[in-house]
Amino acid sequence: MMESAANSARKRDPVGPSVVRRAVRAPDLIIHPKRKSRTIMRYIKTIDDITKDGAIDFGAGYEFVERAEDADAILMRSTDLHGYDLPEGIRAIGRCGAGVNNIPIEEYARRGVVVFNSPGANSNAVKEIVLAMMIMSSRGIVQAMQWVRANADDPDILTSAEKAKKAFVGREIRGKRIGVVGLGNVGSKVANACVELGMDVYGYDPFISVEHAWALNREVQRVGTLEDLCRGCDYLTLHVPSKADTVGMISTEQLALLAPGAVLINFARETIIDEDAVAAALEAGKLSWFACDFATPKTVRMPRTFITTHSGAGTEEAEANCADMAISELKDYLENGNIAHSVNYPACSMGKARAASRIACLHANVPNMIGQITAILAKDNANVQRMVNESAGENAYTMFDTDEHLDRATIEALKQIPSMYRVRVIK
């Protein structure tokens, strides 16, 4: 095939001068003063303590920077980004963890920023602490330990403890009824563990995924309404994300349906419960205990509580799992444009970027985007080797490989398509 005039012009004038003059820099990345090396460098800003010992590894070709303005992507945990002035250069955010209520994901989608989380990576840690809370609220363990400490100077403590122990008599969880709200990564594991412990387990999740439905022990009895779930429960544990239909979902009406002296466990988010209703249920003795991972001005003043420091995911294993997952998601996106486990863009993969050029378009999920993209490519006589288009909700993603670099004007034309949020020249 003869080379067209357009193609030879394109070779002289590829997208971004760096592609030809310094083919070592990833074309869509921001210009950073440090980018002088001959290897492609990408820059990461971390927010929060990602792991206790600070060990996180992106491997070769990545460097951590102090300022988000100098970064291509952010790796983070629970810091609230609502109202944060996100720099233009940020292409992606990796949330080490499950909940993303701290990130304005739809606003970022419209700015062409892909937000990833790490589903399931910390769910075993949460399951274990929830089981601990169930047993702690049933057996007077903490109270007995406090008694021992308070009586440490008693020379006859062995005998005294024998007399004191009747104050700490509890109840077993085996045979008791538990309701699990949300049967995702955490909830399904909690439900299955409770079956193993001999409990009578009920679950409520109108949006349960096929994957989690398969993973659920057949002994878990699914119910169709939150009220049916709550009725007669000795334990109620919450494992839903914080969103419009879950905020305040546990209130006076739901608490009234529980068995007398029930235990409420909230390791999901502080917003899921109506705090005044929970305080009233504790005061009235309707709830015997409340275990909660969120120390708010109200929860810390309630009687008979176990309040922790948002520690549900606080294990070495969970921190490492979350970091590993978020890092590999970010790397695949920055290097190849592939999307896995995004909470604001569809999953999409074309494998490793091997063609001469790979372009990714982040845009609204509206009619005729592909038509407009291909019309521009046709005008440039670009030969598309492969193209994928995926959508999720209001957002869509179109990625394609070409056997030549597109010229500057073509990329500009793609950017000018109405409802186009961002065009990335990945390679």
Ligand X SMILES: NC(=O)c1ccc[n+]([C@@H]2O[C@H](COP(=O)([O-])OP(=O)(O)OC[C@H]3O[C@@H](n4cnc5c(N)ncnc54)[C@H](O)[C@@H]3O)[C@@H](O)[C@H]2O)c1
Q: How far is the CB of 26 from ligand 3PG (least distance, A)?
A: 29
Q: How far is the CB of 101 from ligand 3PG (least distance, A)?
A: 8
State which residue, 217 or 308, has the beta carbon closest to ligand 3PG. Answer: 308
Q: How far is the CB of 207 from ligand 3PG (least distance, A)?
A: 17
Q: Which does 77 bind (CB under 5 to 8 A by kind): ligand X, ligand 3PG, none?
A: ligand 3PG
Q: How far is the CB of 188 from ligand X (least distance, A)?
A: 8
Q: Looking at 49-57, 277-285, 308-316, 373-381, which segment touches ligand X (CB under 6 A)?
A: 308-316
Q: Which does 184 bind (CB under 5 to 8 A by kind): ligand 3PG, ligand X, none?
A: ligand X
Q: Which does 222 bind (CB under 5 to 8 A by kind): ligand 3PG, ligand X, none?
A: none
Which of 285, 247, 239 has the alpha carbon at shortest distance from 263?
Answer: 285
Contact call for residue 78 and ligand 3PG (CB under 6 A) = yes
State which residue, 319 or 401, has the beta carbon closest to ligand 3PG. Answer: 319
3-state secondary structure the chain: CCCCHHHHHHHHCECCHHHHHCCCCCCCCCCCCCCCCCCCCEEEEECCCCCCCCCCCCCCCEEECCCHHHCCEEEECCCCCCCCCCCCCCCEEEECCCCCCCCCHHHHHHCCCEEECCCCCCHHHHHHHHHHHHHHHHHCHHHHHHHHHHCCCCCCHHHHHHHHHHHHCCCCCCCCEEEEECCCHHHHHHHHHHHHCCCEEEEECCCCCHHHHHHCCCCCEECCCHHHHHCCCCEEEECCCCCCCCCCCECHHHHHCCCCCEEEEECCCHHHECHHHHHHHHHCCCEEEEEECCCCCCHHHCCCEEECCCCCCCCHHHHHHHHHHHHHHHHHHHHHCCECCECCCCCECCCCCCCCEEEEEEEECCCCHHHHHHHHHHHCCCCEEEEEEEEECCEEEEEEEECCCCEHHHHHHHHCCCCEEEEEECC
Contact call for residue 269 and ligand X (CB under 6 A) = yes
By beta carbon distance, the residue nearest ligand 3PG is 97
Contact flags string 193-232 toward ligand X, x per CB under 6 A: -----------xxxxxx--x--------------------
Contact call for residue 15 and ligand 3PG (CB under 6 A) = no
Q: Are strands 177-181 and 384-392 parallel, antiparallel or unpaired?
A: unpaired
Question: Are 357 and 425 in contact, with CB atoms under 8 Å apart?
Answer: yes
Q: Which does 346 bind (CB under 5 to 8 A by kind): ligand X, ligand 3PG, none?
A: none
Could you say which of 241, 315, 353, 383 contacts ligand X (CB under 6 A)?
Answer: 241
Contact call for residue 122 and ligand 3PG (CB under 6 A) = yes
Q: Which does 267 bind (CB under 5 to 8 A by kind): ligand 3PG, ligand X, none?
A: ligand X
Contact call for residue 98 and ligand 3PG (CB under 6 A) = yes
Q: Which does 204 bind (CB under 5 to 8 A by kind): ligand 3PG, ligand X, none?
A: ligand X
Contact call for residue 358 and ligand 3PG (CB under 6 A) = no
Contact call for residue 98 and ligand X (CB under 6 A) = yes
Name the site residues for ligand X (rule: CB under 6 A).
Answer: 98-99, 119, 122-123, 126, 181-187, 204-209, 212, 239-242, 245-246, 267-269, 293, 310, 312-313
Name the site residues for ligand 3PG (rule: CB under 6 A).
Answer: 77-78, 96-99, 122, 310, 312-313
